[in-house]
Amino acid sequence: MNRLARCHGEPVARDRQSGFSLIEVLLAVVLGAALLTAATFFIFSMGQLWGRGAEPRLFEQHVRGVTRFLESAIREALPAGEAQGGQQQQQQQAQTNAARVFWHNPPGFTFADDPLLTFEMVNGPGLLAWPDRPLPFVVCSLFLDPRDGLMLLWKSRLEIDFELMEPRRTQISPYVTAITYLYYDAEEAGGGWEERPDPRTGDGAEPVLPTRIRLTFTYENMVRHTELAIAAAPAGVPIY
């Protein structure tokens, strides 16, 4: 029929089933790419908006969480006593505290030459991964590793190899970069604080238990400090 129409010079109607032209296809591709780019930019910008300030907040939460954990552990290690009392009672409390929080070289641990700040807990904290069922009377030491941050060295006194084998290690915070020891000297005029990067030694060259310790947390360009009370100080000690 079409061949006959062409022979007689009649116009042939364009096939209605024909596809898009090349220009139409290129235009559709350009528009689709533009929409995809706009959607990607929108999602990326919203992600930046939602995540703005997330790292500082998470870092602050980490600092507070580590501080609360250590405060709770040390408070559990210290004998229970009255929060208020006279000078004699507080001095007696300080002597009792010194019997539970002390300097100690964990048996088998060769990564530190100096004694470590150590305390004993009747029941170990929940973050400890025991190889078997948990045991009581857990001796815990704080160790600052230059690579891994603040570590907790721990072992139960009831374990047969307590005096022979190295204690287990649990990471508390990879962001602790320094421990400062704070001593309150009541003999100075008006009292005074001394900051030391290492423990103070007494008459017999034995380290003296600090009144407080300061932990320094560092993450990128953010630095935070937090303090923990270690031993009860004499009456009238001001808040540092």
Q: pLDDT by residue (tens digit) across 6-42? A: 555 555 555 555 666 878 777 777 777 777 776 676 5
- What gap in Å lies between CA 121 and CA 177, rounded to an integer? 25
Q: pLDDT by residue (tens digit) across 177-219? A: 999 999 987 766 556 888 998 888 887 778 888 999 999 999 9
- What gap in Å lies between CA 58 and CA 234, rounded to an integer? 37
Is residue 221 classed as helix, strand or coil in its secondary structure? coil
34 occurs within a structural domain: no
Is-contact 175 149, C-beta < 8 A? yes
Q: Structurally, how many domains does the chain consist of?
A: 1
19 occurs within a structural domain: no
Q: Specify the DSSP class assigned to residue 53.
A: T
Q: pLDDT by residue (tens digit) across 124-168? A: 888 888 888 889 999 999 999 999 999 999 999 999 999 888 999
129 occurs within a structural domain: yes
- Report the chain's mean pLDDT, rounded to a whole number: 77
Is-contact 142 150, C-beta < 8 A? yes
pTM for this prediction: 0.67
153 occurs within a structural domain: yes
15 occurs within a structural domain: no
Q: pLDDT by residue (tens digit) across 36-54? A: 776 676 565 555 555 566 7
